Amino acid sequence: MTVTIGRRELLAALGGAAAWPLSARAQQAGKLPTIGLLVSSTPADESQRVGAFTQRLHQLGWIDGRTITIELRSADGRPERAHEIAAEFVRRKVDVIVTSGTPIVAVVKQATSTIPIVFAVAGDPVGNGLVASLARPGGNVTGLSLLQIEIAGKRLELLHEVVPGLRRLGIMGNFSNPPLALELSEVQKMANRLGLAVVTCEIRRPEDIAPAFDTLKARAEALYVEADTLVVANRTRIIILALAARLPAIFNSREYVKEGALLSYGPNFPELFRRAADYVDKILRGTKPGDIPVEQPTKLDLVINLTTAKALGLTIPESFLLRADEVIE
């Protein structure tokens, strides 16, 4: 069943950018370019990212209900729902589809070879067949790469640095997701270099999360979490269970640290969504998506939660804190 976001939820997610009467939207809907915006998780989880996207569109002159129509849909953390939503967008002949997450981008690409597709976030878009190359994507798909594989080893090094005497590492993720399988390989390589024993826990459904932590409690001293739509939709639960198991955990973005995780290292996701709006702007003004190069993050943020560190009994070196882009207390 496709999830259609109500008007109040849409306005909240768009941060007020869509504050136009439904009557005005209805009068102009047939005349305005339509953006199909498919978010991978719940509206609440994605609100900051969607807000950054629509705010940038507004700056570029694209205002929902006046110069464009934005149709926001949620896969609610379940990639299988993306099939129905993609089919709906194709039936409605939207002008651009914007989405994120490699599996969902692949689903949308399978649904249409003609409607332009912009991915705000994707891991290894070349290796996963989303585009022909970063410089020349070709076809109807372009967007922003996540550097998911390239920085995996560095992320583990940072976790190792703040957990003294770390010997046993847990790695959690949906390894059936191709980018996450590649990320797992890179993390395992770095773990070998650091002399760490590794236990892997695969999670494919929400029901897999609690049993995974039951396994990790006795076998790991720290946790590397590979994020995808499942993790995004269940991040609060994962963070709480990691803290209950006294496992220092590292993630790929500050949203997790803000909610209580110990560490994150990766791109600023709202910024990636903001930059995706520039892609949409170019496409709506006539540029072919295949001619717009795939870009990568220009900055990676290191974020640490000192309150969580104290709760876990960790003393973070001053030199580490000075390198952090953000310290949450």
The series of mean pLDDT values per 10 residues for the chain, 329 residues long, is 42 40 39 92 83 97 96 83 94 96 92 97 89 96 92 97 96 92 95 98 95 94 94 93 97 94 95 97 97 94 97 96 96
- Are domains 3-146+269-291 and 152-267+300-328 of this chain identical in fold? yes
Q: What is the pLDDT of residue 7?
A: 42
The pLDDT of residue 148 is: 84
The pLDDT assigned to 128 comes to 86
What is the pLDDT, as a whole number, of residue 146?
87
Q: What is the CATH number of domain 3-146+269-291?
A: 3.40.50.2300
Q: How many CA atoms lie within 13 A of 160 on its CB side?
A: 19
pLDDT value of position 144: 97
- Collapsing DSSP states into helix, strand and coil, what is residue 45? helix
pLDDT of residue 30: 54
Distance CA 129, CA 315 (A): 43
Q: Under CATH, which number does the domain 152-267+300-328 receive? A: 3.40.50.2300
- The CA-based angle 282-80-252, given to 5 degrees, is 65
User: 139: exposed, middle or buried (C-beta count within 10 Å: 0-12, 13-18, 19+)?
Assistant: middle
In contact, 100 and 118? CB cutoff 8 Å: no
Do 90 and 115 touch, CB atoms closer than 8 A?
yes
Query: Do residues 110 and 116 lie in contact, with contact meaning Cβ atoms separated by under 8 Å?
Result: no
Task: Dig out the tokens for 13 from the structure.
Answer: 């997610």
What is the CB neighbour count within 10 angstroms for residue 39? Answer: 31
Q: Where are the domains of the chain?
A: 3-146+269-291, 152-267+300-328
